[in-house]
Amino acid sequence: MTTASIDIDAPHLDAVYLGGKWVNPVAGATVDVVMPSTGRVVATAADPGIEEADAAVAAARKAFDEGPWPRMSVDERIAMCTRFAEELESRMDQLNRLWAIESGFPVSHGEMINTGAASAIWRAALANAPKVPWKEKRTGGGSEVVISHDPIGAVLAILTYNGPVPEIGMKIIPGLLAGCVFVAKAAPDSQLTARVIAECAEAAGFPAGVVNVMPAGMETSRHLVAHPGVDMVHMTGGVSVGVDVVTQTAPRLARTVLELGGKSPAIILPDAVLDEVIPTLVPAAIGGVGQICVALSRILIPRSRYDEIVARLAVEFAQYKVGDPLDPATVLGPLGNERALVRVESMLERAIADGANVAAGGRRPPEFNGEGFYFEPTLLRDVDPDSFIAQEEVFGPIIVAIAYDDVEDAITIANNTRFGLAASVYSADATAAFAVAQCVEAGNLAINLAGVCLTEPFGGIKQSGWGREGGIEGILEFTHIRQFLLSGASQANRER
């Protein structure tokens, strides 16, 4: 199927799923679904507002305070979450196609990120749940103490348009396994996939209110973040949104987990062999046309090899063509919306004004005749490490090549950012690369590779956020730690 023949086939576009039912929004507001590859409206969906937000929180609150979910055994929760996972996996072809329609990410990318990675992420969470030390007895200082990990409560999970399906495995299923209940706030650009995800939750048979799905805009999202019935906000998004979340949750001291942006460096050490570097570095830089939080958007190159490596990278960048996201052969699609395209063009214009030069890409592909939100993978050279384009997250296909003088200079440049999400170090000497990586301020580092492991603890430092997703730690993020001092404990400990 291509954009020439589109069958939307998305369920319940006139409703949202909350309290175990499909509900038509009170205000009757709608939102257009714009296909990024054409720029045209292909569907209209119900747009939930404040009334639906309040109803979703009330349903979640009742499910947690009065319902069976947090009181079920871990095995019972695993069984139901497994059914949820199976429902999602049975509909991957539909999810990948709808995601391509609404977001522009190619079906080939969906097969990798959704069918492959997402399934692995939630299957790992299901396997980890029995290993979590939900309750453990400790003895010390003459006391016997039970340490209990108990669910936090009603969680607002803020999902993104560039990975709603994997985020089910990174947020929703780990929290459900911990006994929490959810209002899943999908991005306004995720109208189609959000409804399939909700239908899968419905088919899994969760008790009413355990999973509520709200593909909503900014006003409704901010109302949910500030809602006193929400015990925790677990979000993926940009730094400005993260700051707003913390500002709104601070008065009630609600828990937050924030997976924010990045300006991740790839350090190519002087002895690196390019034939071994490029196969992982370039896809990790421009995959998803840069709409990936861990994209290697700063390539640090020894000055002695700068021209050689930039020329090689430029040739490689030129091999990556953008195309129809519904074509199975397409690797790179359009940007997700017109705002993103305008932002990319504006940032490129500023970078050039600041002295950067285009080594590859740098334009809307002419073959699309201005249709859709396409932009070529772009490599900039002669970039000052302190410049705007080297400091700000583009979230688009603009990658900068920065020269460094020696290894210490490379580390300084790598750390010269407010972000700290991911990094890669390339060298013919893996031990030397590891030593450099240990000096880089990032939460996730790769040696002679690119990317991160999402089945183990993943997250950022500095303004890339706090908290972790994945692994046992990702489940424990959704819990309170409580102490039970048992009878027969020492008098000193009882009085504390």
- Active-site residues, by number, are 259
Q: With beta carbons less than 8 A apart as the criterion, state whether 256 and 467 touch.
A: yes
DSSP string, 48-70: --HHHHHHHHHHHHHHHHTSSGG
CA gap 464, 475 in Å, rounded: 20
C-alpha span between 217 and 222 (Å, rounded):
9
Nearest to 402 by CA among 261, 266, 262: 266
CA distances from 269 to 65, 378, 379, 427 (A): 55, 22, 19, 5
Query: Both tokens of residue 185?
Result: 């706030």
- Give residue 391's Cα distance to chain centre: 20
The per-residue DSSP string of 288-343 comes to GGG--TT---EEEEEGGGHHHHHHHHHHHHHT--B--TTSTT-SB---SSHHHHHH
Look at the chain and count its residues.
496
Contact 189, 101 (CB under 8 A): no
Could you tell me if 222 and 248 are in contact, meaning their C-beta atoms sit under 8 angstroms apart? yes
Q: Hey, which residues does 480 pair with through a beta bridge?
A: 150
Cα separation, 392 vs 187, in Å, equals 22
Q: Which residue has the tokens 């369920």?
A: 11
| Closest alpha carbon to 286 in 387, 365, 376 | 376
Q: Are 269 and 302 in contact (CB under 8 A)?
A: yes
Nearest to 31 by CA among 10, 46, 53: 46
